[in-house]
Chains A and B, each alone.
Chain A
Amino acid sequence: MKNKMSFLQQEGEACPSRCPDNSAFRQQRLPAWKPQFTITAVLSTFFLTGMFCLSVGVCLILSANSIREIQIDYSDKCSDCSKLRENSSNWNKECLCSVNFTLKEDILGDVFMYYGLQNFYQNHRRYAISRSDAQLLGQNVNNSYCAPFTTYQNGTPMAPCGAIANSMFNDTFDLFYNLNSSVTQVPLLKTGNSWWTDKNVKFRNPKSYNLSSAFAGTSRPPYWQKPVYLLDEEDERNNGYINDDFIIWMRVSAFATFRNLYRRVRRIRQFADGLPAGNYTFHISYNFPVTKFKARKHVILSTVVWSGGSNPFLGIAYVISGTAATLAGFVITAIHLKLRKRKTYFQK
C-alpha cells in the first residue's frame, strides 16, 4: 500500500491522467478587460452625453421651427357632408365642400399635402391583420387572412380583401390658388409618394393582358365606389394594387392619430419655389364617414427638414435629457468631492 502511494506521488508530479488541463479557459484565467466605474469615466460620460444631447436638441428644435405647416380640420367645416355620410344609404351621392385659408408668407421648398386622421384605430390588431399580402402580390390565392371582408355571400372574392383595404380613405382634395380673382389649380403629384419597396416589391398587380381582366371574377370591396382597376385610369403604373394612395393606406399606422402623404406640390410655374403667399381653397370631395366613431379629419400642407416632419418632441426631449445629464454630472461631482476624504478602503 505504501509503495503504491509513493508510486502515485511520483506520477503526480508528472501530471497523470486525471489531472485537469492547465488551460486558461479551464482555470478561469482567460485574459480579460476589467472596466471600472472610475470618477473620470462616469463624469465624462455624463458631461459628454449632456453636451451632445443639448446640441442635438438645439439643432432639432431649430430645424423643426423652420418647418412651415398648415393643418386644417375639416370635420366641422364640412358638417353638411358628414351628416350626409352618416346615413349609409347616401353612399353614391357626391358631396363637395370647400375650405379657404390664407398664407401670409411664401412656403418655400417642397410642399407635401397630407390627410390626417385622428382617433382612427388603424393599429387595432384585428384590423391590422385583416389583409392578404399574397393577394396584393398578385398571386391568385383565396385565403382567410382577410376576415371579415373576404368574399361576398355569393362567393365572389373581394379584391383587394380585408378590413384595411375596405376602409380605404377616399376623400379627395384639390388645391386652388386664388390670385386677384383668378383661380389657379395647384399642380399636384400623385405618384412617388410611397416607399420604393412597397411600390416595386410588396404590391403587384395580377398578370393579365389588361388590368380589368386581371381582376375578373373578383369584386370591389363593399365600401368602395369603384373597382380597384379604376383607381387611376390615367396612369397605368398607378392603377390596381400599385396605386400610391392604396399602397399608402395599406401601410397601417402605429397609432390612432396619423397622417398619410396624399400629394406633393409639383414645382412648376408660379409654384416653382413652393407655395406663394395668398388665398387658397381646398375643394374636398367628402366620401369618408368618420363622425360615428368621433374621428376627425385634417388636411395638411407641410414642408420637411432633415429630421423629418414638424414633430418637436425629439428636440425638446434631447434638450431636457441633455440638461438632466449635465446637472446629474454636477451632482455626482459634488457628491464625489464630499466623499473623497471619507475612507472607503477595505479594513483587513
Chain B
Amino acid sequence: RGNNSIKTSKYNFFSFLPLNLFEQFQRIANAYFLFLLILQLIPQISSLAWFTTVVPLVLVLAVSGVKDAIDDFDLSCRLKDEKWMNVQVGDIIRLENNNFVTADLLLLSSSEPHSLTYIETAELDGETNLKVKQALTVTAELGEDLQKLTEFNGEVKCEAPNNKLDKFTGTLTLRGEKYALDNEKMLLRGCIIRNTEWCFGLVIYAGPDTKLMQNSGKTTFKRTSIDRLMNVLVLLIFAFLALMCLILAIGNGIWEYDKGYYFQVYLPWAEGVNSASYSGFLMFWSYVIILNTVVPISLYVSVEIIRLGNSFYIDWDRKMYYPPKDTPAQARTTTLNEELGQIKYIFSDKTGTLTQNIMCFNKCSIHGKSYGDVYDMSGQRIEINEKTEKVDFSYNQLADPKFAFYDHSLVEAVKLGDIQTHRFFRLLSLCHTVMPEEKKEGNLVYQAQSPDEGALVTAARNFGFVFRARTPETITVVEMGETKVYKLLAILDFNNVRKRMSVIVRSPEGDLTLYCKGADTILYELLHSSCDSLKEETTEHLNEFAGEGLRTLVVAYKNLDEEYFQDWIRRHHEASTALEGREDKLSELYEEIEKDLMLLGATAIEDKLQDGVPQTIETLARASIKIWVLTGDKQETAMNISYSCNLLNDDMDDVFVIEGSTSDDVLKELRDARKKMKPESFLDSDEINIQFEKSSKKPKVLPDEQANGVYGLVITGHSLAYGLEENLELELVRTACMCKVVICCRVTPLQKAQVVELVKKYKKAVTLAIGDGANDVSMIKTAHIGVGISGQEGMQAVLSSDFSFAQFRYLQRLLLVHGRWSYIRMCKFLKYFFYKNFAFTLVHFWYGFFSGFSAQTVYDEWFITLYNLVYTSLPVLGMSLFDQDVDDRWSLLFPQLYVPGQQNLYFNKTVFVKCMFQGIYSSLILFFIPYGAMYNTVRSDGKAIADYQSFALMVQTCLLIVVSVQICLDTSYWTVVNQFFIWGSLSVYFAITFTMYSDGMYMIFTASFPFVGTARNTLSQPNVWLAIFLSITLCVLPVVGFRFLKTQLRPTPSDKVRKYLIKPEILQQHLRRLRRTSTRRSGYAFAHQHGFGALIMSGRNMRPKSPFATTGTFSPNSDKHKHKGL
C-alpha cells in the first residue's frame, strides 16, 4: 500500500509558476485585482492604462511568490530524501549506525545481543536520552542472513495509521504462530540509529501514514484578531467603494443627460452608448477601476513583511537566549506577532514551565522516622544554606559527588544496618525504569525517563545501594559494597490512572518481593491493615513535606508467595498477548497483586522553580494579564507552588476552593464565590443577567466584571469536569474570570484544552497557553497563541507551539516588549496605510464632480502605479519595523503600558473610521486648495497653469508631501533607516517625476509620458508652492493640534511614560525598586509527578552496558526471556 515518498514540498521547478499563481489568485484580494484587470480590458470601461494595475499586481505576486518559494524550498530541503522515496510497505530495510529511519519499521534483527537497537528520538519527541528497542526472538534469529531475510514470510496485522507516538498494537503471524507486537519493536520515522552496527526492519507504515507525519499534519491555522478585523474592514471598504461608484455613476447619468447630450457637438458619445443611463452604468465600472486603490493591493503583502520582520527580532533577541542550553527564542509562526501585544489570559502549565523539573531528594520518612532536617545543638531547626555541612559520602566510591544531603542521622541509620532503612533504599534502587551507563568504571550515569526517578535512584546510590546495571531480567545492585544480582520478574508499569509502579524481583537469596512506589492517596488504599499506625505517622510527615512544598511518594513492599506468583505470571503472560483489551486485562492483574502492601515510608523531593518566575508573574499581573495555572498536580501542592511563585498571596481577600463532587455542589460553590466577590451580580437588574435571560442559544460574549477585591480560585479536575458541562460552563467562566488567579489542579490534557476553549468562547480576549510537555500540546494548539518551553520533557510542546524559548521568565519580554511593539507597529501601520490610501483615492471622487463624472483621474497614471509601491511603501515599512514608543526597559518597568493592547484600543473600527475621516478631510484639502489656487489663474508670465497636467502634478506633489509629513508625525523613533526611507522616497519621487517628464523620455515613449515639461513649468512657480504649502499646513496642523490636546486631555499610558523620558533619574529609581523585589524568591515548588507516560519496558531489554559490574550480568538462558513464548 502506498510508497514512502512524502510530498512535503508543494512545487517543483516547472509546476511552481502555474500552481503558485493559482494559489495566489485564490486569495480574495488578488482575485479582486484580477477582476479589475479583466475590467480594464473592456475598452468602454477602461479608465486607466493597463500598467496601473498590472505593475502592482505583478510585483505583489512576485513578492509573495518568492516568499512561498523560499518557504517551500526550506521545507523540502529539510525532509526530502530521494533515496528512500521508493520504499514500500512490506519492504525489509537494512539500516546502519547513525542512519535516519525513514519509515515506521518493525525491528527484525540487529547486530547487538538480543537484537537490541538503540535509537535517539530527539527529532520525534525531543528527548536526548537513548532509547532501546528489541526485536522478537523469532525474527532476531534471522540475523544478517540475507537468504533467510528474503525468505521471511510472515503476516503483520496492525492498527490503522494514527498519531500516537507511544502506542502500537499488532500481531505477527509466522509459521502459524502468533506473536504480539508493540511499540517496543517499532522504529519510527524520525529516529536515528545509535550504537548499533546494523539492523533490519520491516516497513509497516510508509510516507504520510508514518506516525511522525500523522502528528505533524494536524496543526490548525491560526489567525490574529487584526486579521479578522482587516477582512471585515476590507469588506466595509468594498461597500464604501461601491457606494462612491454608485454616486458617481448616478452623477454621470445626470450630467450626460443635462450637459453631455448637448456637448456631443464636440464630444460624441462613445460607440454603443445611446443613453445617459447606460453611460452611467459603464462609468460605475470605470470608477471601480479608478477608486480601487482604497483597497490597496500591497496591504496584505506589507502586513506579512512586517510580521516577518518582527518575528526575526524575536529570534534575534539576546535577552531571550538561554546560554546553558544554547537556545535562542524562536518565532515558529510568523503571522501572529501583534496578537502577542493583546494577551489577556495566560494558561500556564506548572511542571517544567514554572518549575525546573529538576528534582533533589530532600527528605524522607522511613518507618515513622523523618529524615532531612538539620537541627542545631539546642534542637532548633536550621535553615539549610550553602554553608551547611553536607553529609560525607566518601565511604561509597560509587557515590554521585553532586548529590547533597544534610541530615547525618540517615547515614548513621544506614551504617548501623537498620533493616527498614536498608529495605527502603533497596526499594529505591530496584523499583524504577532508569538505565545505567558506565563508560568508565565507577562513573555511573543514569538515564532516567522522569527526573523524580533519577533523583530517587541517585539518593539510593549515595546511601550505599548503587544501582549499577540491568539486563532484561536482572538488576545488579551494589549493596553496601556487596554486588547482588536480583532477578527481575515483572514490571508493573506506571500510568496516569494507576499512579504507581511496582517491580517483582527475586533476591539472590531466593525471596520473592514486590516493591511498589506511588502517590499516597492511591497507595494508602492498598496497604495492609497492620500498617495503620505507621500510616498515621507517615501521613503526618507527608503533610509536613507537602507544607514545605516538596513532592512526595509513598513506598511499600510485599513478600510474595511462590505458588501464587507462578499462577499470576502465567495469567499475566496470557493477558499480554491478547490482541484486544490487553491493557485493561493487564491493569486488572496488576491491581490483583498490588494489595496488602507493607508501608515502608515516604520520599520527598524538591522541585525547583525556574529562575525569575515570581517576578515574571508579578509583572504580568501588573499588566492586567490573568494567569490560570492548569496542572495535573494535586490541589495542595498546586496551591503551594502558586504561593511560592507569587500567584496567590496573603494580600488576597479570599481564595475559593471548588471541590464539589456533584454538579449541584459545584454550582453552589461557584455561586457562593461569586456572591462574595460581587453580590450585585445576582440582582435581576444586573446587565449580564438581563442579557442572558433573553438568551438565544448562541454563545455570547461575556463582558468583564469587576470584583470587589482580589480573589483567587482553585478548582479540582473533578469539579472542573462538572464545571465544563453545558449547564455550568457559563457560571464557571463568570466566576473564574472575576478572579485574579485561577488554579486548576488534577486536570487532564483534554480538560486543559477545554478550559482554554471555554474562555475563548465567552470572553472576547486573546489567550496564550504556555507549556513544555506533551500534555500541554492540546492547550497550546487551542489557545490563540501557543508557547512551548524547550524543557526536559521533550519537544512535542515546542513542535506544536507558535513561539518557543527556554525559560518562563522570557514570557514577560515576549509579551511586554516584542508583543507590545509588534501590536503598536501593526496598528500604526494599518492606521497610516488606510489613511494614505483614502487621502490618495478620494481626490478622484471630488474631481468627478468637476469633470463631468467622466472617470477622469486626478493624477498621472504613472503616479497611480508607483504611489503605493515606490513612493510610500518604504517609509511606512520603516516605521512598522523600527518604531518604539518607549524602549524595552520602560515597557518592562511599566507593565500598565500593555493594557491598551488588551482592550484593542490602538486599532479597531472606531479608529478605522477616524482614519477614514482624516483621509476624507485630507482629500478635500488636497483637492480644493489646488482647485481654488488654480481656478482661472495664470502663471506670473501670463501663460497657462490651470491645465490638467499642471493640476495633476500639483495635487500629487501635495499628496506625497502630506503623507510623508504624516508619517513623520506618526514615527516616534527616528533611526537612520527611517530618515533614509522618508527623505529617500521624497527624492525618488522628484527624481522619477522629472525623469518621466523629461524630453528624452517623451521622444522615446511618446504615448506613455505625455506630461513632458510639466514639472519644469509648474514647479518653478511661486503660487504653486504656496498652494502646496497651504495644503500641507491645513492637512497636518489640525493633526498636530489634536494629538497634542489628546496627550494633554486623555493621555495614553505611553504618553505618561514618555514624560519620564526627560527625567532619567526616575528610571534609576524604578530599577532599584525592581531589584529589591527580585530577592523575593523563597518558595520551593513541588508537583505531584504525573505523566511518567507509558514506562517502556526497557527494564527488560537493556543490554549489559557495564562490563564493570562483575557478577553475571545476564544469564545464559537469556533467550528464554519473556518474549520468547509470545
Contact = CB atoms under 8 A, between A and B. Distances in A.
B1030 A123 contact: no
B262 A293 contact: yes
Contacts of B974: 32-35
Contacts of B945: 308
Given A37-B1043, A253-B946, A321-B1034, A344 B1051 contact: yes
B902 interface: no
A271 interface: no
Given A12-B323, A202-B1002, A260-B944, A124 B856 contact: yes
Contacts of A147: 271
Interface residues of A, number: 110
Given A19-B323, A125-B851, A201-B1002, A254 B316 contact: no
A234 interface: no
B819 to A, nearest CB: 13
A311 B324 contact: no
Contacts of B1017: 195-197
Contacts of A145: 1007
**Interface-centre pick from B934, B1010, B1021 (highest chain A CB count, 10 A):** B934
Contact of A123 (B266, B856, B1003): B856
Interface in B1018-1068: 1021-1023, 1026-1027, 1030, 1033-1034, 1037, 1040-1041, 1043-1045, 1047-1049, 1051, 1053, 1055-1061
Nearest to B818: A28
Contacts of A258: 936, 946-947
Interface in B768-807: none
A127 B256 CA distance: 13
Given A28-B313, A28-B884, A49 B1033 contact: yes
Contacts of B266: 127, 163, 166-167
Contacts of A11: 326
A17 B856 CA distance: 59
B1056 A346 contact: yes
Interface in A188-215: 193-198, 201-202
A37 B1040 contact: yes
Interface in B718-775: none
Contacts of B951: 254-255
A251 B950 CA distance: 10
B392 interface: no
A134 B1013 contact: no
A309 B936 contact: yes
A208 B943 CA distance: 31
A74 interface: no
B315 interface: yes
Contact of B1044 (A37, A119, A127): A37
Given A110-B942, A313-B933, A344 B1059 contact: yes
Nearest to A198: B1013
Contact of A332 (B128, B937, B1044): B1044
A202 B978 CA distance: 39
B1056 A345 contact: yes
A111 to B, nearest CB: 9
B265 interface: yes
A331 to B, nearest CB: 8
Given A37-B1044, A116-B936, A12 B1070 contact: no
Interface in A3-23: 3, 5, 8-9, 11-13, 15-22
B1013 A254 contact: no
Contacts of A20: 315-318, 321, 328
Contacts of A108: none
Nearest to B1050: A344
Contact of A125 (B47, B931, B933): B47
A310 B882 contact: no
Residue of B262, B327, B821, B941 most packed against chain A (CB within 10 A): B941
Contacts of B1027: 314
B395 interface: no
Contacts of B855: 125
A33 to B, nearest CB: 4
Given A27-B318, A121-B852, A344-B1059, A321 B265 contact: no
Contact of B1060 (A60, A339, A346): A346
A9 B324 contact: yes
Contact of A126 (B321, B854, B946): B854
B440 to A, nearest CB: 11
Given A259-B938, A344-B1056, A201 B316 contact: no
Contacts of B1057: 346
Interface in A109-145: 110, 112, 114, 116, 119, 121-128, 130, 133-134, 137, 139, 143, 145
A202 B997 CA distance: 11
Given A12-B323, A28-B884, A314-B932, A255 B946 contact: yes
Most buried by A among B324, B857, B1056: B324
Given A125-B47, A346-B1056, A325 B942 contact: no
Given A253-B948, A254-B951, A332-B1045, A148 B324 contact: no
Contact of A133 (B326, B850, B1010): B1010
B1007 A133 contact: yes
B999 interface: yes
Given A2-B402, A307-B940, A309-B937, A9 B1012 contact: no
A197 B994 CA distance: 13
Contacts of A269: none
B892 to A, nearest CB: 13
B939 interface: yes
Contacts of A308: 937-940, 945, 1021, 1023
Interface string B863-899: 0000000000000000000101000100000101000
B324 A8 contact: yes
In this complex, the member of A22, A264, A292 whose beta carbon has the largest number of chain B beta carbons within 10 angstroms is A292
B397 interface: no
B972 to A, nearest CB: 6
Contacts of A95: none
A18 B315 CA distance: 10
Contacts of A348: 894, 1070
Contacts of B936: 116, 257-259, 309-311
Interface of A: 1-3, 5, 8-9, 11-13, 15-22, 26-28, 30-37, 39, 42, 45-46, 49, 53, 56, 60, 110, 112, 114, 116, 119, 121-128, 130, 133-134, 137, 139, 143, 145, 147-148, 163, 166-167, 193-198, 201-202, 248, 251-261, 264, 289, 292-294, 302, 304-311, 313-314, 317-318, 321, 325, 328, 332, 335-336, 339, 344-346, 348
26 contacts: A26-B313, A35-B974, A36-B972, A46-B1040, A60-B1026, A124-B263, A124-B851, A128-B856, A128-B948, A198-B1013, A202-B1013, A253-B944, A253-B947, A254-B931, A255-B931, A289-B265, A307-B940, A311-B935, A313-B932, A314-B1023, A317-B932, A325-B1037, A332-B1041, A335-B1049, A345-B1059, A348-B894
> Which 10 pairs across A and B sit closest by C-beta, in order of nearness?
A197-B1013, A12-B323, A254-B951, A313-B932, A311-B937, A293-B262, A26-B316, A167-B266, A125-B854, A125-B856
Given A259-B946, A317-B929, 11 more contacts: A12-B325, A32-B975, A35-B974, A123-B854, A125-B855, A130-B267, A307-B1023, A308-B940, A310-B936, A328-B1041, A348-B894
